[in-house]
Amino acid sequence: MNKRTYMPFVALAMGLALACSPEPLDESNPDPVTANTPDTSPEDTEEPAPDPEGEAPDTGTDTCSPSSFVFEEEEGVILAEMENGVFTDAWQKGAAQPDALGEGYLVWTGNQYLNAPGQGLIAFKLDIRRTGTYVFSWRSAVTLGNNGTEHNDTWLRFPDAAEFYGERNTGVVYPKGSGKSPNPNGSSAEGWFKIYRSGSDLGFKWQAYTSDHDPHLIYVRFDTPGTYTMEVSARSTGHAIDRFALVHTDADFDSAIAGEPTPVRCGE
């Protein structure tokens, strides 16, 4: 390569490096695992990334598999991608719905389990440091049929929380099988709530109720800091879940769900 061709190449390479380097990786990549890894130094541009969208560099947590993910509470909020769970059976990672966030969503494609929770079990580990009561919600959609009140629910349980209940101004309900009463209208069993969205719309929205025709918001209480388990299992075919959130009653719910997913660390 002679000097005439070499110099423009260098200038081009430097231009590319300068054009690429100011873009912070943690804003261009919504993956909560990689977004929370330490910043790569801005000088680290000897090998320009082949993909301008930018896969985050290997920093250790990239090798973490979802079975080791621990979802960390930060300032009273856990906001997580459903597709970061370990999904089995007939759960599928979907991408067809245009307004899903992150890398898609999970949708149940198997049989319905309208009265039998525990099938297609997905367990999320939650690291809770701020004790107290959190409201639970998820962003879900109906992807089968045209009726917003069918294929609109999935089972949820917090087996090791201090309390898991539904509440509205008329009172509180506890899951059947919890040993507490009253219980919700409709199906519930073994500590599980049926969590549904309602309305004639079908697309993704933040809404999570329990108790048929008597919508109660969902709450969970943690009395000591530690790692807790959130369990999700299949109920209705075609119910798609994009994200879930736990927001402390001291935190602002609307701003929490509008934010970026909270950190995920690699556990054992």
Cα-to-chain-centroid distance, residue 259 = 12
Among 102, 203, 259, 267, interactor with Ca ion by CB under 5 A:
102
81 lies in the binding site for Ca ion (CB under 5 A): yes
Among 79, 148, 242, 261, interactor with Ca ion by CB under 5 A:
242
Task: Answer for the pair 198, 149: CB distance below 8 angstroms, yes or no.
Answer: yes
66 lies in the binding site for Ca ion (CB under 5 A): no
In the structure encoding, which two tokens stand for residue 86, read together? 């370990």
Q: Of the listed pieces 32-40, 73-81, 118-126, 259-267, which binds Ca ion according to CB under 5 A?
A: 73-81
- Smallest distance, Ca ion to C-beta of residue 89, A: 19
Q: How far apart are CA 126 and CA 69, in angstroms?
A: 9
- The angle subtended at Cα 57 by Cα 52 and Cα 58, nearest 5°, is 155
28 or 147, CB closer to Ca ion?
28
31 lies in the binding site for Ca ion (CB under 5 A): no
Q: Of the listed pieces 8-16, 34-42, 81-89, 231-239, which binds Ca ion according to CB under 5 A?
A: 81-89
Comparing C-alpha atoms, which of 184, 189, 161 is closest to residue 174?
Answer: 184
Q: How far apart are CA 135 and CA 100, in angstroms?
A: 22
- Smallest distance, Ca ion to C-beta of residue 240, A: 10
> Which residues here bind Ca ion, judged by CB under 5 A?
81, 101-102, 105, 242
